[in-house]
C-alpha cells in the first residue's frame, strides 16, 4: 500500500511539474529572442572586466603581499631573538656547571684595535672591580667570548651583544671605538641593570624587545632584545643584543604595488615606524609618532586596533580624503604589523568605463522585460498556490504513516554527541527505517571502540615522542660543544660539528687530553640510525675515551674497545672509527684506523693530502680478537687535520648523485687558510648547496684541528 501511495504522489507531482515547465516556457520564450544577443554581449564584457572580480583579485593580491612581507620581516626578528636565546642558554650552562669551566681571560685592547670586534667588561654603580667575587665571576663568564663574537660575526644586523649580571658586571662584544677603550687604566662604567632591555627581560622572564631607538654610535635605527638568565629559578642576569633596522627600513621604502601603492610598518604602540608615503595620515614621523588607535579617523582606529591584535585582513577606508585598500598582517615576534596600501581608484577605473557603456543599452530593455516578468510571475504564483495546497493535503495524509518513524529516529540520532554515544531503538517497522536504525546502533558500538583505540594509540605516540626529545638532548649534551674547548691552550685551534639525520644519530666525535702534552681526537660512525645506533654510540665513545685516557697505545685502545663491543652485540652493529694522539711539543701524531674515512691534512701552502693508514682494518665490533695497527705522521705548525664521516662524501642530491671526496678536496683547497670553525661551515655550506634540499639519510659529522705548537708557560696545567 505504501508503495502505491508513493507512486501516486510521484505521478501527480511529476504531472504538475511538467505543466509548470510548459507554462514557464510559453511565457518566457517570446522574451528570450529579444534578450539573447544583448545579454550575451553584456555578459561577456561583464565577465571579463567585473568590478567584483577585480576587487576580489586586488584584495587577495594585497593580502598575499602583506602576509609574505610580514613573514619576511618577522623572520629577521625571530632569528635575532634565537641568537640572543643561544647566548642566554650558554650563560645558563656556565652558571649551572660553573665548576666544570676553567678560568678565561679577556684579551687586552687599545687604540690599535679600533674597528675590530672586541669583548670587554664594564661595571655598574657600586661594583668593586677588584673584588675577588667579581673577578671570579668574570673569569667564568669570559668563556662566552668565543660564542659572543661568533654570533656578532654571523649576524649582519647585530650591532653588539652582551651579558649583564645581577651583580653589576657587564660583558660586551662590539666594534672597538673611543667610548669603549679604557682611559688611563680606568675601568669602564656602565649600569646595564637600569636599561629597558634588562628590566623588561627580568620582569617578563621571557625574551623582550624594546621599542625602536637611534644607535648611539652610528645613528641608525635599532631595537634591543634581552633574554633572562635563570638557573634553577634563580635570576642571574640578562643576555642581550642590539639589532639594526636599516634592511627593514629600505625594504619598506622600496616596496611598490601598482602606480601609487606603498607599504608601512606600525609598532605595538600604534606608531608608524617606516612608511613608503612621505606625507598624510600614514606617513612616518622621525621621532615618536601618534598612536593610530587615537586618530580622528574612526575607520583607521578600528583597522589599527584589529591589526595590532594580530589579525590579518583587507579593508577599504577613507584616508586623506580618498578611498584606499589597506591589507595588514602581524609580525608576531615583536607585536608589530605590516600594512600594504593601494588607492581604490586604480582598481575601479576600467570597471567604471565598462558599466557606463552597459547601462545605456540595458535601460532600453528594462521596461519590456519588467512587463513580461510581471505577467509570468502572476501565472506562476497561481499555479504554485494550487500545487502547494495539493502537496499539503497529500503530505498530511502520509506524515503519520511514513514520516513519524523517521522523525523519531532523527531525534534519537541528534542526541548522539560528545561523550553520549548510546543509541536505543525498540520499534520494528520492518522497512528501510528499521535497517537504518540497526546501522546506527552498530555504528555507535564501533565508534566507542574506535575512540578507545585512538586514545590508547595517541598516548603511546606522545610517550615515544617525549622519549625521543629527551634522547636528542642527552646525545647532544654528550658531545663537547663549547668552542674554543680549552681557552688557555694556544698550541692548537679546534672546532667540530654533528648534524644527525634523525632525532638521534650514530655519529660522534670527541677530543680530550691524555696528559698535559698529548691531545686525542676521535671520530666514528655507528652502523644504522636512530635509538639503537645512538645507544651503541654512547658505549663506543665511553670505551674509547676510557682506554685512551688510561695511556694505552692507539692500537691497543681499538683492540680493547673492539673486544668489549663484541660482547653481547646481538644486533650486529659495528663502528667505523679513527683516533689520533698528537704530541703538542713535537707535532708527532700516532693514529689508528678502524675502517673509517681517510682524513685530510692541509698545510700552509694549500696542499691537501689524504692521510691513509699502512693497512685498512675492519670496523670495531665486527670481529672479536681483531689486531689493529699504529701509524705515525708528523704535523708541522700551521697544518690542519680534517676528520669527517661518510655522510659528507655520500650526501645525495635530487638526481641521486653523490657529493664525493673530489668535491670535498676542492672545497678544502679553496678554504685552506680559514680557521677550523669557518672551514667546517664552508664545507657544510657547499654540501647544502649541492644537495639543494634533498632529504638526507646519513649523519654529517666533521672535526678540524689546526696545530700552532705555541710554547706554554712553565707550570701551566690542562
Percent of the chain whose predicted confidence (pLDDT) is above 90: 54
Could you tell me the CATH number of the domain that includes residue 102?
3.30.450.20
670 and 595 share a domain?
Answer: yes
* pLDDT score, position 225: 95
Angle, in degrees to the nearest 10, between helices 530-549 and 432-478: 10
41, 44, 363, 381 from 38: Cα distances, Å = 5, 10, 12, 28
590 φ/ψ angles, rounded to the nearest 5 degrees:
-100, 130
Lowest mean pLDDT among 86-100, 263-277, 606-620, 640-654: 263-277
Residue 165 confidence class, pLDDT cut points 50, 70, 90: very high
Mean pLDDT across the chain: 84
Does residue 621 have a pLDDT over 70?
yes
Which segment, 12-16, 274-278, 413-417, 424-428, is predicted with the most confidence on average?
A: 274-278
User: How far is the C-alpha of 638 from the C-alpha of 670, rounded, in Å?
Assistant: 16
475: confidence class by pLDDT, cuts 50, 70, 90: low
**Judgement on whether residues 91 and 221 belong to the same structural domain of the protein:** yes
Which residue blocks in 550-614 are alpha helix, DSSP H? Answer: 554-566
Q: Is 258 exposed, middle or buried (0-12, 13-18, 19+ CB in 10 A)?
A: middle
Residue 332: its pLDDT value, please?
92
Asked if pLDDT for residue 236 goes beyond 70, the answer is yes
pLDDT digits (tens, 9 = 90+) for 643-665: 999 999 999 999 999 999 999 99
Is 275 within 8 Å of 283 (Cβ atoms)?
Answer: yes
d(CA 634, CA 609): 13
Q: Looking at the domain assignment, is residue 518 inside a domain?
A: yes
Of 384 and 664, the one with more pLDDT? 664
The more confident residue out of 383 and 560 is: 560
Domain match, 179 and 304 both: no
How far is the C-alpha of 500 from the C-alpha of 433, rounded, in Å? 59
560 and 665, same domain (yes or no): yes
The domain containing residue 274 runs over which residues? 247-343
294 in a domain, yes or no?
yes
Has residue 47 got a pLDDT over 80? no
* Amino acid 25: pLDDT: 60
In 3D, which of 333, 288, 293, 282 has the Cα closest to residue 310? 333
| pLDDT (average), residues 26-52 | 59
Range 354-372 average pLDDT: 59
How far is residue 160's CA from residue 327's CA, in Å, rounded to a whole number?
A: 35
Q: Which of 82, 67, 64, 69 is nearest to 333 (CA)?
A: 82
Average pLDDT estimate for 299-313: 93
Helix axes 432-478, 404-414, angle to 10 degrees: 20
Q: Specify whether 612 is located in the same domain as 492.
A: yes
| Residue ending a domain, choose from 244, 264, 293 | 244
- Confidence class for position 174, pLDDT limits 50, 70, 90: very high
**pLDDT of 62 over the 70 cut:** yes
Lowest mean pLDDT among 94-98, 358-362, 619-623: 358-362
In a domain, 292, yes or no: yes
Instruction: Please state the three-class secondary structure of 109-130 as a single string.
Output: CCHHHCCCEEEEEEECCCCCCC
* Start-to-end Cα distance in the chain: 103
> Which residues are registered as beta bridge partners of 325?
316, 342
Distance CA 159, CA 147 (A): 15
Q: How many residues does the chain have?
A: 718
Separation between Cα atoms, residue 163 and residue 238, nearest integer Å: 6
pLDDT band at 716 (very low <50, low <70, confident <90, very high): very low
Asked if residue 713 has pLDDT above 50, the reply is no
Supply the Cα-derived Rg of the chain in whole angstroms.
38
Tens-digit pLDDT profile for residues 151-162 = 999 998 898 999
Question: Would the pLDDT of 39 be above 50?
Answer: yes
> Do residues 575 and 615 share a domain?
yes
Distance of CA 198 to the CA centre of its chain: 26
**Of 215, 244, 273, which closes a domain?**
244
pLDDT of residue 511 exceeding 80: yes
Which DSSP helix (H) or strand (E) runs through 495?
Answer: strand 492-499
Q: What is the pLDDT of residues 544-555, one digit of tens each?
A: 999 999 999 999
Instruction: Return the percentage of the chain with pLDDT > 70, whole number.
Output: 79
pLDDT band at 534 (very low <50, low <70, confident <90, very high): confident
Contact 272, 326 (CB under 8 A): no
> Do 379 and 485 fall into the same domain?
no
713 located within any domain: no
696 within domain boundaries: yes
Does residue 641 surpass a pLDDT of 60? yes
Please determine, for residue 216, whether its predicted confidence score (pLDDT) is greater than 90: no
**For range 450-465, the mean pLDDT:** 72
Q: Is the pLDDT of residue 306 over 90?
A: yes
Q: Whole-model pTM above 0.85?
A: no
Q: Which of 164, 88, 177 is nearest to 127 (CA)?
A: 164
Task: Say how far residue 187 (Cα) sits from the centre of its chain.
Answer: 41
In this predicted structure, the answer to whether residue 399 has a pLDDT above a threshold of 60 is no
Pick the range with the lowest mean pLDDT from 216-225, 404-413, 560-569, 697-706.
404-413
Per-residue pLDDT tens for 603-612?
Answer: 999 999 999 9
Which letter does DSSP use for residue 283 in this model? P
Of 694, 686, 594, 695, which Cα lies nearest the Cα of 645?
Answer: 594
Instruction: Return d(Cα 135, Cα 229) in angstroms, integer.
Output: 19
How many domains is the chain partitioned into structurally?
Answer: 5
Cβ-contact 281, 319 below 8 angstroms: yes
**Is the per-residue pLDDT at 369 higher than 60?**
no
Residue 307 lies in a domain: yes
- Asked if 80 and 41 sit in the same domain, the reply is no
Alpha helices in 430-529 (DSSP H): 432-478
Sign of the Cα pseudo-torsion (271, 273, 279, 282, in order): negative
**Residue 717 confidence (pLDDT):** 40
Which one of 195, 227, 244 terminates a domain? 244
pLDDT digits (tens, 9 = 90+) for 131-144: 999 999 999 999 99
Q: How wide is the angle at C-alpha 23 spanned by C-alphas 19 and 25, nearest 5°?
A: 115
Q: How far is CA 431 from CA 325, 406, 427, 436, 439, in A?
A: 60, 11, 11, 9, 13
Question: Do 554 and 668 fall into the same domain?
Answer: yes
- Indicate the pLDDT class of residue 57, thresholds 50, 70 and 90: confident
Specify whether the CB–CB gap between 109 and 272 falls below 8 A. no
Amino acid at each position: 500500500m505504501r508503495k502505491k501511495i508513493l507512486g501516486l504522489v510521484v505521478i501527480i507531482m511529476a504531472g504538475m511539474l511538467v505543466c509548470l515547465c510548459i507554462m514557464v516556457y510559453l511565457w518566457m520564450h517570446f522574451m528570450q529572442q529579444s534578450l539573447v544577443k544583448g545579454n550575451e554581449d553584456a555578459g561577456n564584457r561583464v565577465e571579463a572586466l567585473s568590478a567584483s572580480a577585480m576587487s576580489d583579485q586586488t584584495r587577495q593580491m594585497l593580502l598575499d603581499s602583506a602576509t609574505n612581507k610580514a613573514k619576511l620581516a618577522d623572520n629577521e626578528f625571530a632569528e635575532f631573538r634565537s641568537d640572543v636565546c643561544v647566548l642566554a642558554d650558554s650563560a645558563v650552562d656556565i652558571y649551572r656547571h660553573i665548576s666544570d669551566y676553567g678560568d678565561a681571560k679577556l684579551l687586552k685592547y687599545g687604540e690599535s684595535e679600533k674597528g675590530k670586534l672586541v669583548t670587554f667588561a664594564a661595571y655598574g654603580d657600586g661594583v668593586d672591580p677588584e673584588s675577588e667575587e667579581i673577578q671570579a665571576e668574570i673569569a667564568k663568564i669570559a668563556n662566552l667570548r668565543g660564542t659572543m663574537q661568533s654570533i656578532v660575526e654571523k649576524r649582519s644586523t647585530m650591532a653588539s651583544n652582551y651579558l649583564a649580571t645581577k651583580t653589576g658586571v657587564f660583558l660586551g662584544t662590539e666594534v672597538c671605538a673611543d667610548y669603549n677603550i679604557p682611559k688611563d687604566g680606568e675601568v669602564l662604567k656602565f649600569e646595564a641593570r637600569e636599561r629597558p632591555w634588562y628590566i623588561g627581560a627580568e620582569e617578563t622572564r621571557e625574551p623582550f624587545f624594546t621599542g625602536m631607538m637611534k644607535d648611539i654610535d652610528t645613528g641608525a635605527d635599532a631595537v634591543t632584545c634581552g633574554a633572562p638568565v635563570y638557573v634553577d629559578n634563580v635570576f642571574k642576569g640578562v643576555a642581550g643584543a642590539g639589532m639594526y633596522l636599516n634592511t627593514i627600513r629600505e625594504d619598506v621604502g622600496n616596496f611598490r604595488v601598482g602606480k601609487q601603492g606603498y607599504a608601512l610598518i606600525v609598532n605595538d604602540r600604534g606608531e608608524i615606524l617606516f612608511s613608503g608615503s612621505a606625507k598624510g595620515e600614514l606617513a612616518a614621523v622621525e621621532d615618536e609618532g601618534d598612536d593610530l588607535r587615537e586618530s580622528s579617523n574612526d575607520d583607521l582606529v578600528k583597522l589599527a586596533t584589529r591589526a595590532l591584535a594580530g589579525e590579518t585582513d583587507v579593508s577599504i577606508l577613507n584616508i586623506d580624503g580618498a578611498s584606499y585598500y589597506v591589507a595588514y598582517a602581524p609580525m608576531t615576534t615583536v607585536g608589530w604589523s605590516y600594512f600594504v596600501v593601494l588607492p581604490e581608484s586604480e582598481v575601479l577605473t576600467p570597471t567604471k568605463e565598462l558599466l557606463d557603456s552597459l547601462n545605456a543599452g540595458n535601460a532600453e530593455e528594462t521596461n519590456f522585460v519588467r512587463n513580461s516578468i510581471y505577467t509570468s510571475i502572476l501565472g506562476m504564483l497561481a499555479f504554485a498556490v494550487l500545487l502547494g495546497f495539493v502537496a499539503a493535503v497529500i503530505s498530511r495524509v502520509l506524515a503519520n504513516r511514513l514520516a513519524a518513524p523517521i522523525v523519531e529516529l532523527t531525534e534519537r540520532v541528534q542526541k548522539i554527541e560528545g561523550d553520549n554515544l548510546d543509541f536505543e531503538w525498540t520499534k520494528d517497522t520492518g522497512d528501510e527505517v528499521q535497517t537504518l536504525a540497526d546501522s546506527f546502533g552498530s555504528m555507535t558500538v564501533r565508534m566507542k571502540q574506535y575512540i578507545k583505540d585512538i586514545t590508547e594509540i595517541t598516548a603511546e605516540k606522545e610517550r615515544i615522542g617525549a622519549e625521543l626529545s629527551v634522547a636528542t638532548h642527552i646525545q647532544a649534551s654528550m658531545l663537547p660543544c663549547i668552542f674554543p674547548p680549552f681557552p688557555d691552550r694556544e698550541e692548537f685551534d679546534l672546532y667540530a660539528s654533528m648534524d644527525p639525520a634523525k632525532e638521534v644519530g650514530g655519529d660522534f666525535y670527541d677530543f680530550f687530553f691524555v696528559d698535559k702534552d698529548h691531545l686525542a681526537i676521535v671520530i666514528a660512525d655507528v652502523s644504522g640510525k636512530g635509538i639503537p645506533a645512538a645507544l651503541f654510540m654512547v658505549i663506543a665513545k665511553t670505551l674509547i675515551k676510557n682506554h685512551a685516557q688510561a695511556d694505552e697505545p692507539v692500537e691497543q685502545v681499538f683492540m680493547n674497545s673492539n673486544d668489549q663491543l663484541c660482547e653481547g652485540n646481538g644486533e650486529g652493529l659495528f663502528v667505523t672509527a679513527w683516533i689520533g694522539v698528537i704530541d703538542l711539543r713535537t707535532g708527532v701524531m700516532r693514529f689508528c684506523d678502524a675502517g673509517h674515512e681517510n682524513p685530510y691534512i692541509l698545510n700552509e701552502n694549500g696542499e691537501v693530502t689524504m692521510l691513509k693508514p699502512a693497512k685498512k682494518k675492519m670496523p670495531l665490533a665486527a670481529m672479536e680478537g681483531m689486531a689493529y695497527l699504529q701509524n705515525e705522521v708528523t704535523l708541522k705548525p700551521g697544518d690542519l687535520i680534517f676528520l669527517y664521516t661518510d655522510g659528507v662524501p655520500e650526501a645525495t642530491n635530487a638526481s641521486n648523485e653523490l657529493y664525493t671526496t673530489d668535491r670535498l678536496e676542492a672545497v678544502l683547497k679553496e678554504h685552506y687558510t680559514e680557521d677550523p670553525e669557518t672551514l667546517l661551515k664552508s664545507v657544510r655550506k657547499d654540501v647544502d648547496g649541492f644537495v639543494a634540499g634533498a632529504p638526507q639519510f646519513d649523519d654529517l659529522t666533521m672535526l678540524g684541528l689546526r696545530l700552532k705548537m705555541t710554547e706554554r708557560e712553565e707550570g701551566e696545567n690542562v
